[in-house]
Homo-oligomer: A and B are copies of this chain.
Amino acid sequence: MEAITGQELIRAVALLGAGIAMGLGAIGPGIGEGFVAGKACEALGKRPDQSQLITRTMIIGQAISETTGIYSLIVALILIFVV
């Protein structure tokens, strides 16, 4: 591999970093958001008359939990396209 330049090594490592960032970064929000929706379903089973309120809170809660997953996506895309 003597013909490999530093710029190429940087690019290769950036792509590996993108894969790691997105792969690990999807674990937390995936489990977390699932917990939110599961608890919302449970709450609906008890108070179906409040479905609009619970669903709204669920979506807000999931959207905020989503953020770290989106950060991971952003970092991965920057590592792929910008770097």
Chain A interfacial positions (CB closer than 8 Å to B): 1-51, 53-55, 57-80, 82-83
Contacts and interface: CB of A to CB of B under 8 A. Distances in A.
A51 to B, nearest CB: 5
Contacts of A64: 33, 37, 59, 62-63, 66
Contacts of A21: 18-20, 22-23, 76
A24 to B, nearest CB: 3
Contact of A66 (B11, B42, B45, B68): B68
29 contacts: A1-B9, A3-B6, A5-B6, A8-B9, A10-B12, A13-B13, A13-B16, A15-B83, A19-B19, A20-B21, A20-B23, A22-B72, A24-B24, A25-B68, A26-B26, A27-B28, A30-B33, A31-B31, A33-B34, A34-B65, A35-B35, A36-B41, A37-B57, A62-B64, A62-B65, A69-B71, A71-B73, A79-B80, A80-B82
